[in-house]
Structure 1
Amino acid sequence: MEQIIKILSELHPDVDFETCDTLIDDKIIDSFDIVTIISELCDEFDITIPVEEIIPKNFNSAKALHAMVERLIEEE
């Protein structure tokens, strides 16, 4: 989880990613941020994020991102 928060904080240092669960809903992150996050997560965790996983539910919070990463690591 720390690595995910670090990645997010590099994009938006002013956001409390520990508690925020409306990153997409409140337009805190945009499509360009999502592309960056996907790239960083793939590099950091050596995973591939399939297109069907790129949905708002998976990107609305650091916890959701963490859950998605954990799930993808288990599947590989």
Structure 2
Amino acid sequence: METLMNILMEIDESIQWEKEKALIDDRILDSFGVISLISELEEAFDIEIEAAEMIPENLNSVEALWKMVQRLKEK
């Protein structure tokens, strides 16, 4: 989780990541941010995030992101 938080802070330090529950729905994280995030997550956690995973349910909050990472690491 610490690695995830570090990645998020590198993307944008002004966002209160722990509090946000609609990063995608409220357009807090833009398309460039999503692409950067996906790339960083894949590299940091040695996972592959396919297009089908790039849905708001997996990206709207830190908790959702962490669940997705954990699930993909198990594959």
> Same-fold call, TM > 0.5?
yes
Which whole-Å CA distance do the structure 2 matches of 1:6 and 1:23 have between them? Answer: 17
1:20 is paired with a residue whose SS is coil
Q: CA RMSD in A?
A: 0.9
**Hey, what does 1:47 align to over in structure 2?**
47
1:37 aligns with: 37
Q: CA deviation at 1:68?
A: 0.2
CA distance in 2 between partners of 1:22 and 1:12 (Å) = 15
Structure 1 vs Structure 2: percent identity of aligned residues? 47
Q: Shift of the alpha carbon at 1:11?
A: 1.4
Q: Secondary structure at the match of 1:8?
A: helix
Aligned pair count reads 75
Mind listing any 5+ residue stretches in structure 2 that lack a counterpart? none
Question: What are the equivalent positions in structure 2 for 1:1-76 lying under 5 Å apart?
Answer: 1-75=1-75
Unpaired runs of at least 5, structure 1: none
- Structure 1 runs, 4 residues or longer, greater than 6 Å off: none
Q: What is the alpha-carbon distance in structure 1 between the residues aligned to residue 65 and residue 44 of structure 2?
A: 13
TM-score w.r.t. length of structure 1: 0.91
How far does the alpha carbon of each residue in 1:22-64 deviate from its partner, in whole angstroms, 9 at most, with x for none? 1112111011111100100010000001111011111101111
C-alpha deviation, 1:9, in angstroms: 1.2
> TM-score by structure 2 length?
0.93
